[in-house]
Each structure stands twice: as C-alpha cells, then as structure tokens.
C-alpha cells in the first residue's frame, strides 16, 4: 500500500521490539467472536491513475461545462488562482487546530486577519474563527441571542433561506425555543406591521436575512428599531458575502451570521463552506466557536493564541456555549485570501459588476415575464414568474447547456410558477440573452395556446 512507510522487515523488527509474535497478538483485546475474518466488501485497491479516471468520469456526469443561473445560498464567483496555490501548502493543509501556539503562528495570524476583515465588512466589533456554514452559523446566532436575553422565542423572517430555517428548527426543537415566522410583502421585504404585532416580551431576537432569499435588500434599520424597542436582539444572516462590497453592512444588528462561500470557495455541491459569527464586544463571552487573540511572548514579541476557551466544550463540557469543535479553518483561509486579493476597492467593483449583470437580466426578463419584488433594491438574485411551470422551462433550457433559475414551488408554493435566478460577474450577456429568449418563447407559446382556447370558446 503506497501510503504506508514500512517494509515487511520494519514490521518484523517492531513486532520483535514490542515482544509480540504476530500482529494478531496486538488485536487480542478484541473478543475473537467480533473480529472480522474476511476482506471488507469494498472496491479493490486502485492505482492513482484509476482513481483519477473514476472521478473524472463522475465530474463529466455532473454538469461539467454548463452555464448556471443558480444561487440560493451557493454562488459561482471567480476564484483567483493563488487561493489554491497558497492553501495547498502542506503547512496550512496538513496542520491541525492551533493548540500549540509556538508552532502554529501561521494559522493563528491568518485567522486573526480573517476575524479583523469580517469585522470590517460586517460592521461588527468581533468575529469568530469560523462555523460550519451559513445555516449552522445562523442557528447558533439565534441560540446565542436566547442565552444573552434569557428569552425563549424568536421571530424568523419567511424570506430567510428555507434550508437555514429548517436547520434552525431542528436545533431549536429540543431547547424550548419557539419559532414564529413573519411573512414578506410585495416588495419582497419583511412585513413590518406583522413584525410589530408579533414581537413580544418573550422575543429573544428577530432573524432577518439581507439580501434575503429572493435577493431583496431589507430595511435593516426599521427592523432593528422594532426589535430593540421591545428589548429583542436583531440577528442578521448574510448568505451572499459579495453583497457586502456594495450594500451597507448591518451596523444596527446585534449578531451577524454569515456564509463566506462567495469569497473564493467553490460551490462543491454544497460544501465545505465557511460560516462565521460576528457581534458586539460585550457579547463575546456567549459566542460559540474558536477565537484567536493577540498577546505577547516572554520577550514581549507579538504573537497569537486561541483564547476565551472557557466558553468551549473541551473546558465547559455540558455547560459550553456550543458543542462545536472542528471548524472550517482551511475554508476560512480561502475566504481570507479572497478578501485580501480584492481588497477595499476590488470588493466594491466586484459587487458592482454583480449588480450590473443582474440589473441587465432583470430588464430583459421583465420584457417577457413578471419579475417579482421590484419595489425594493436587490443584489444579484431575482424572482421571475412565468405562465409555464419553471421545471418545464428549465428542462428546455438545459438542452442549451444552461441551468435555469431555481423553481420555488418546493419552498414557496404560494408564489406559483416562480423561479429564483442569480447573476454574478461570471454570467455572460449571451447566456442571459439565450435564457431570456427561451423564457419568452415559453410565454408566447402559452399565450397563443390560451388565445386559441378563447377563439374556440367564441366559435
């Protein structure tokens, strides 16, 4: 086996040194009746070239070379090549959690920079070293608000990513946290009147996503006012990090839960991604996850360590702020490098290109179908309502090697034949034009079919 560094002679020598007759001696503690006396029934050992071939075939079966209009929590942005050059360095790739600070300063300093940049981008004062993803970060942020306020219910905007809401409800169920949904208006924004009516003395927080699942940018200030007036916290979830380049950050929030995937992390069929929680300094001791802090060594030299560990499971056990242990350090490094590459000016220009492509697509689609939620600003996603079922339209579009918007029936049946489309800086105008053309064709076909019906009735 090519990963194993011992010759048969080495194994013999080690057995002899130990004083064992055979390897079986070492497995004697396992009762004989449970020992496996056969080969595992798994594929045989393969050469490297066979492994490469097998996965290349799977890659080809997986939408290789399609143009996609999908977003909805997983975005295709350009990844600068130096991200992979740098994260492939074995010193980053094959190190573990920086428990031993003296030989982990590289990881620790890069996390410290990550925490700083997340603060700058979100308008918060502290950020942690990462969470699993946006859905679990959002969930943990709500649980954090419950701990901080001592209240036990939460108001959740219906325009928060449906799968984030599912994860939250899985976690909340056994912690006695009651979740109430607040709907959205025709602008796509949360219904402020409903929110005002629903907020109660028991409300720990309001959870809002902005830009929300439909791409609509919420009026964070108005929601913050309602929450704070009632002693509740505002938790803001951000699924599309690139929006922060041009959309005002949620300064009024108490906790921000973010998905960093847009910043240089491949969509990778849903993971691994990089969640992160940011908040105000005063709340840091209720924050879940790892934190890196600056300190000095015995000679007064600057250095970095994992800190405030008394919040964590390995110290507090059942009284910890969360059960999280492993986080997403390598993905956080991708995010960090991406933010560094684009920097202060590039992040804005990148976001602006997303805005321009989306504005163009919205204009084109509007000529042939209804684009919902146009009464409020949006970032890079929009909802198109068609006469025909979007699944049917998508299956025709797929023939042109284009993946159409996400049909929303599964999550929002009340929106009818609606689909969520996304444009990023990667979306070509020609692809937009082709997709719009096919949607227009579908609309015309449905229209002429219904006109034919009318004529028939008239005769």
Query: Which residue's CB is nearer to other proteins, number 198 or number 217?
Result: 217
Element (H or E) spanning 436, and its range? Answer: helix 429-458
Footprint of other proteins on 145-204 (CB under 8 A)? 161, 163-164, 166-167, 169-171, 173-176
In the numeric block, the tokens 């921000």 are attached to 256
Query: Which residue's CB is nearer to other proteins, number 100 or number 448?
Result: 100
Backbone angles phi, psi at 362, to 5 degrees: -60, -45
Residue 266 neighbours by CB under 8 Å, 6+ apart: 79
Does the footprint of other proteins cover residue 448 (CB under 8 A)? no
Does the footprint of other proteins cover residue 12 (CB under 8 A)? no
Footprint of other proteins on 292-311 (CB under 8 A)? 292-299, 301, 303-305, 307-310
Query: Which residue's CB is nearer to other proteins, number 97 or number 230?
Result: 97
Does the footprint of other proteins cover residue 121 (CB under 8 A)? yes
Closest distance to other proteins from the beta carbon of 412 (Å): 14
The stretch among 93-101, 150-158, 195-203, 441-449 that binds other proteins (CB under 8 A) is 93-101
The stretch among 74-82, 195-203, 224-232, 444-452 that binds other proteins (CB under 8 A) is 74-82
Query: Which residue's CB is nearer to other proteins, number 106 or number 416?
Result: 106
Q: How many residues of this chain bind other proteins (CB under 8 A)?
A: 198
The stretch among 150-158, 229-237, 344-352, 438-446 that binds other proteins (CB under 8 A) is 344-352
Pick from 304, 402, 330, 327: nearest CA to 67: 402
Exposed/middle/buried for residue 380 (C-beta within 10 Å: 0-12, 13-18, 19+): buried
Distances (CA, A) of 458 to 102, 453, 454: 86, 9, 6
Residue 401 CB neighbours (<10 A)? 13
Edge-to-edge strands, sheet with 406-407: 370-371, 381-385, 418-422, 406-407
Footprint of other proteins on 262-291 (CB under 8 A)? 266-272, 284, 290-291
Does the footprint of other proteins cover residue 8 (CB under 8 A)? no
Does the footprint of other proteins cover residue 64 (CB under 8 A)? yes
Does the footprint of other proteins cover residue 130 (CB under 8 A)? yes
- Supply the DSSP symbol for 131: B
Residue 114 neighbours by CB under 8 Å, 6+ apart: 127, 129, 130, 332, 333, 335, 336, 339
Query: Which residue's CB is nearer to other proteins, number 182 or number 337?
Result: 337
Footprint of other proteins on 403-442 (CB under 8 A)? 403, 406, 425, 428-429, 432
């Amino acid at each position: 086996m090519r990963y194993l560094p011992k010759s048969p002679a080495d194994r013999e020598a080690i057995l002899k040194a130990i004083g064992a007759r055979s390897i079986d001696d070492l497995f004697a503690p396992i009762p004989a009746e449970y020992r496996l006396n056969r080969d595992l029934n798994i594929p045989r050992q393969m050469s490297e070239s066979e492994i490469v071939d097998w996965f290349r075939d799977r890659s080809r079966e997986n939408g290789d070379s399609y143009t996609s209009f999908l977003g909805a929590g997983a975005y295709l942005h350009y990844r600068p090549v130096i991200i992979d050059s740098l994260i492939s360095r074995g010193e980053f790739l094959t190190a573990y959690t920086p428990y031993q600070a003296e030989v982990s300063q590289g990881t620790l300093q890069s996390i410290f920079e990550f925490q700083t940049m997340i603060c700058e981008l979100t308008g918060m004062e502290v950020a942690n070293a990462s969470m699993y993803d946006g859905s679990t970060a959002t969930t943990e942020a709500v649980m954090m608000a419950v701990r901080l306020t001592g209240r036990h219910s939460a108001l959740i905007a219906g325009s928060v990513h449906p799968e984030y809401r599912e994860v939250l409800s899985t976690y909340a169920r056994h912690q006695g946290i009651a979740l109430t949904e607040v709907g959205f208006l025709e602008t796509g924004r949360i219904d402020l009147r409903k929110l005002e009516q629903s907020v109660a003395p028991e409300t720990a927080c309001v959870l809002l996503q902005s830009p929300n699942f439909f791409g609509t940018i919420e009026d964070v200030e108005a929601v913050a006012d309602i929450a704070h007036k009632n002693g509740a916290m505002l938790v803001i979830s951000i699924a599309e990090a690139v929006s922060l380049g041009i959309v005002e950050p949620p300064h009024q929030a108490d906790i921000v839960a973010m998905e960093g995937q847009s910043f240089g992390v491949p969509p990778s069929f849903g993971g691994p991604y990089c969640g992160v929680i940011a908040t105000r300094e005063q709340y840091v001791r209720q924050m879940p996850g790892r934190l890196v802090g600056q300190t000095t060594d015995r000679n007064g030299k600057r250095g970095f360590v994992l800190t405030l560990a008394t919040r964590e499971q390995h110290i507090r056990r059942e009284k910890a702020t969360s059960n999280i242990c492993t986080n997403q350090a390598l993905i956080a490094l991708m995010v960090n490098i991406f933010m560094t590459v684009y920097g202060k000016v590039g992040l804005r220009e990148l976001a602006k290109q997303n805005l321009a492509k989306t504005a163009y697509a919205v204009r084109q689609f509007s000529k042939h179908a209804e684009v919902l939620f146009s009464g409020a600003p949006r970032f890079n996603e929009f909802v198109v309502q068609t006469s025909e079922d979007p699944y049917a339209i998508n299956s025709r579009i797929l023939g042109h090697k284009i993946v159409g918007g996400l049909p929303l029936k599964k999550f929002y049946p009340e929106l009818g034949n609606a689909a969520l489309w996304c444009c990023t800086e990667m979306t070509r105008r020609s692809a937009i034009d082709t997709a719009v053309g096919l949607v227009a064709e579908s609309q015309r076909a449905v229209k002429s079919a219904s006109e034919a019906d009318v004529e028939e009735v008239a005769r």
